[in-house]
Structure 1
Amino acid sequence: METRANYVIVGIFTLAAILAAFAFVYWTAAIGERGETTLLRVRIPGSASGLGRGSFVLFNGVKVGDVKRVYIDVDNPTVAIADTEIDRMTPITKSTQADIGLAGLTGQANIELKGADPKEVKLLDQAEKEGRVPEIVANPSAVTNLLQTAQNIFTRADKVLSELEGFTKDVRGPLTQTVKNVETFSDALAKNSDGIDKFLSAVSSLSEQLQNVSGRLDSTLKAAEGLLNSIDKDRIKSIVANVDTVTANLKETSKQFDTTLENVNTAVGSINDFAKQTQGTLAKVNGVLDGIDPADVRTALANIQKASDSANKAAADIAKVTDKIANRSDDINDT
């Protein structure tokens, strides 16, 4: 009987020890949750690709916790939420930035916290005092930005390829015609290669001649330059002044010459009138001569000859008078 009682006592003691061990472990875990770590909720706009349970939470490159759960915000499906468990001593403030980064080439994403102002209030302590879960908004995932950029590039590339395809269709005909024209031109060049060679030879000869001429022209220009340098500039100015004076005198003389010409024209008109009157007189004389005896005619002709001489003398006198008037035109104008 005494031996059985010992077994019962041992069994009860063993069960008590096991329960105490479980209680100690639970108490230790509860103390750890309340003291060393705390919950931090990270809101991630856009995609949270690569982020999952067990992903690291880093602060300035140092691990401060792990991701416990990732889910979609029911009220705003464009935002993903990551509940993390981090060290409660992590100095997270309002100026702290949260980014989603990749851990090497594994494709595993991490939450990277960086930056904090020591003068600002710590979000973890403030949330604990207010009895709420601390939250921080992460910047859009770099992976998402990369994928979006790649998508934009692919869209632009597709647009460029479509435009290039349309351009190719539009210029196919003109390009084909251009190629044909080039082929025709090349054939023509091949057929006229001899003529082209002659032309190039002629051009080469011409260039040599031009080179020789350029040498001569250079010497000529130098001689002309020396000649111009040897001329006295003051003398040239004097010659130009004399030419201006002569031109002015010719201009004044031309005015007087115009007046003389007018006087001569008047005299010539008077002589023409006199000649017309003489012709009329001669016609009448011819009519009279038809009924006159030849002897009388000879006598009359002799008289007419004398009259004609007198008329010529009178015309000469008139011309002299006209010349005198022309010569005295300046004096008349002055009066």
Structure 2
Amino acid sequence: METRAHHVLIGAFTIGVFLIALGFVLWMSKTGSDRSYSDYDIVFTEAVTGLSTGGLVQYNGIKVGEVTRLSLAPDDPRKVIARVRLDASAPVRQDTRAKLALQGVTGLALIQLSGGTPGSPPLLPTSEHPVPVIPSEESALSKLLASGSDIVLSANDVLWRMNQILSDDNVKHISTMLEHADQLSGALANQRQDFGTAIHQLTEATGELKKTLTAVTATANSTNALMQNDVRAMLKSTQKALDSVDKVATSAGALVEDNRAAIGSFSNQGLRQIGPTVAELRETLRSLKQLSDKLGASDSLLLGRDQPKEFQSK
């Protein structure tokens, strides 16, 4: 009897737990069904590679819904219409924009919503669009795929140029250049002592040049002092001399001005008396010359020249 009672209690406990779990599942299902959603269409003018039904829809990085359907536009197969179901509380407004983005490094794509300024009115259904349409923007992924061909061409061109640079002839030239550089470095290493001597001599020459410049500076300073002191004194003396000359010239001018009448009288009368005096002086000189000539003619008599010799008998 006791064993049967234990089995009854275990069975009753199991049934109770099952009923509680079933009630919890029904409550969660009811709660999920009571949540309100809104459907929107997003029209893409690019390939939606990596995007599939059930894909995530995020608003500034926060999940707000999922993709429920993907289809081509009936009027333009170049466009893709993505039907998304978003939480009714998502702030979808008329300036909200959608674009594709990559989900990590998995290669899966998701839809990223952005925009929606507070002043913009909410995006609501209209008679023309019962399902509101969210405009899309070109994504960085699309730009990368569009420029993929250009990147490949550029990469091929770079590889071709690298192949030309690393050709056999260029490799030989590079090897020759490296060999010459090695030889040059060896020669420089052998001349290291000479370089040291040259540097030492250059240092000594620099020291001598510094001394010479110091002496030149001292000479320039002395010359400058001489110019500033002695030359100034000389200029002052010269100025004094010029002032004295000026005073003498002024005095001479005043003297001439005071004796102008006497000088004029001398010029009129004295010069007239000098003329006859000069004429008389000329006559006197002429008479003296004649007397000199006569004396020269009779110098034999005066000096005893040409005296007659006495007769001497043999």
TM superposition score normalised by structure 2: 0.49
Query: More helix per residue: 1 or 2?
Result: 1
